[in-house]
């Protein structure tokens, strides 16, 4: 029987494309990188901002798709970090997990290679010469070997939209398990304004609840500013982001003030900051991005000294929707979490998928069965209320 390593090496040698791990310096100025994700709100500039401003616990790298002549055709970002694969377990499992880790602190925490975006959903790279489907085929054939070279025990394709499922099925055939991440949401806003949306899309009870909340700001003077550059206000808005981050049940990437500054300086065409002031003081902000006919609600900051009494969460949504409608957008799309108010406002779920495998085949066979039971989406009861919940799985 032929040596499997020799067969793999021979196949790689004759393949039209190969994958090379590179740093950002090695792709700087390359047209293929400059064109990456150009049609998306988070284009190559966004990935560069992440690498420059969100550096805690993470190493950024890139898969360069190269032909036999050494020409670069496409670039797929990935990153490396130490991942707790049990962080999504339900609360009932936490006491047992705490006892185990009291004895074995590193239990099921492992170095992980994640394909995609550190702060956002993942997308496949592609170009006129190598479409995204071909990128998937190339990567799935080499990614285990590439993970070994990075000393990664776990491989994850992080939060890819459900539309990629047909293309990414090649990973499932090679031992990956697909499971849901916490989904985004989408709300159609093809109405004349927010009041028309309430009248046309919401039941009477929901309209009554919203109007009751809005009465909390009667007599208040709250001014909204919308800008593509909030550098002058970062010292005011960043502490409000931290207030929301510190209260969150699930904590993902932690933004920095420099991240907000760089978005304003480098991505004015795709970023919108909504800033609300009361008596000259910032009491809320939302970081949004634009893509096609959609306004994406990415991050929020609230001053909890007044936010709950004034129901600022709903107040800010009303302002954002009115602005989006007036500017021709048809959809308000939001990142995950805070699902209860989104359910009441008739959002649909916009599923995101994880594709996961352990590098070692034998443990991976067991892990594939375990994965659907350890993802946070399984334990969020609000998600099950959405009409399209089945699409998440």
Q: Is the pLDDT of residue 106 over 60?
A: no
Half-sphere exposure of 336 (CA within 13 A, CB side): 25
Residue 10 binned pLDDT confidence (cut-offs 50, 70, 90): very low
159-172: pLDDT as tens digits? 999 999 999 999 99
- Cα 102 to chain centroid distance, Å, stands at 32
Give the per-residue pLDDT at 249: 77
Residue 336 binned pLDDT confidence (cut-offs 50, 70, 90): confident
294-309: pLDDT as tens digits? 999 999 999 999 999 9
Residue 3 binned pLDDT confidence (cut-offs 50, 70, 90): very low
What is the spatial distance between Cα 255 and Cα 249, in angstroms, rounded to a whole number?
16
Interhelix angle 234-247/257-266, nearest 10 degrees:
130
What is the spatial distance between Cα 16 and Cα 149, in angstroms, rounded to a whole number?
22
Give the per-residue pLDDT at 102: 63
What is the spatial distance between Cα 323 and Cα 275, in angstroms, rounded to a whole number?
13
Please, what sign has the CA dihedral across residues 58, 168, 291, 183? Answer: negative
What is the spatial distance between Cα 29 and Cα 11, in angstroms, rounded to a whole number?
31
> Do 4-181+352-382 and 185-349 share a fold?
yes
Give the per-residue pLDDT at 88: 54
| 97-106, 111-120, 196-205, 335-344: segment of lowest average pLDDT | 97-106
Topology, domain 4-181+352-382: Aminopeptidase (3.40.630)
Provide the residue ranges of all domains of the chain, joining segments of one domain with +.
4-181+352-382, 185-349
What is the spatial distance between Cα 114 and Cα 154, in angstroms, rounded to a whole number?
8
Ordered alpha helix ranges (H), the chain: 4-14, 24-27, 31-34, 44-53, 94-103, 132-149, 165-172, 194-201, 204-214, 234-247, 257-266, 307-310, 312-326, 339-344, 361-370
Cβ-Cβ contacts under 8 Å for 207 (sequence gap 6 or more):
198, 199
User: Looking at domain 185-349, does it have CATH number 1.20.1050.10?
Assistant: no
């Amino acid at each position: 029987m032929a040596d499997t390593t020799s067969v793999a090496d021979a196949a790689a040698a004759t393949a039209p494309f190969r994958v090379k791990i590179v740093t950002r310096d090695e792709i700087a100025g390359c047209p293929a990188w400059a064109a990456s994700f150009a049609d998306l709100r988070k284009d190559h500039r966004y990935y560069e901002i992440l690498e420059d401003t969100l550096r805690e616990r993470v190493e950024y790298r890139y898969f360069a798709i190269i032909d036999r002549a050494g020409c670069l055709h496409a670039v797929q970002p990935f990153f490396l970090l130490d991942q707790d694969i049990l962080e999504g377990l339900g609360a009932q499992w936490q006491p047992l997990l705490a006892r185990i880790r009291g004895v074995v602190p590193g239990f099921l925490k492992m170095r992980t290679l994640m394909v995609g975006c550190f702060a956002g959903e993942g997308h496949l790279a592609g170009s006129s010469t190598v479409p995204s489907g071909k990128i998937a085929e190339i990567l799935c054939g080499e990614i285990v070997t590439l993970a070994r070279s990075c000393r990664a025990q776990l491989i994850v394709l992080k939060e890819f939209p459900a539309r990629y499922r047909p293309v990414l099925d090649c990973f499932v055939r090679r031992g990956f398990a697909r499971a849901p991440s916490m989904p985004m949401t989408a709300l159609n806003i093809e109405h004349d304004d927010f009041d028309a949306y309430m009248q046309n899309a919401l039941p009477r009870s929901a309209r009554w609840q919203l109007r009751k909340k809005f009465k909390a700001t009667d007599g208040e003077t709250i001014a909204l500013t919308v800008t593509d550059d909030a550098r002058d206000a970062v010292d005011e808005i960043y502490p409000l982001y931290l207030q929301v981050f510190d209260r969150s049940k699930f904590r993902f990437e932690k933004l920095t003030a420099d991240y907000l500054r760089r978005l304003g300086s480098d991505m004015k065409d795709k970023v919108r900051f909504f800033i609300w002031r009361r008596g000259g003081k910032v009491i809320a902000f939302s970081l949004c991005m634009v893509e096609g006919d959609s306004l994406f609600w990415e991050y929020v900051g609230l001053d909890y000294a007044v936010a709950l009494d004034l129901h600022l969460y709903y107040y800010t949504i009303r302002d954002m929707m009115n602005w989006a409608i007036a500017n021709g957008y048809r959809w308000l799309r939001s990142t995950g979490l805070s699902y209860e108010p989104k359910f009441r406002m008739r959002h649909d779920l916009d599923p995101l998928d994880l594709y996961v495998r352990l590098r070692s085949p034998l443990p991976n066979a067991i892990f594939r069965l375990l994965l659907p039971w350890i993802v946070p989406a399984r334990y969020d009861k609000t998600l099950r209320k959405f009409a399209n919940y089945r699409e998440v799985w």
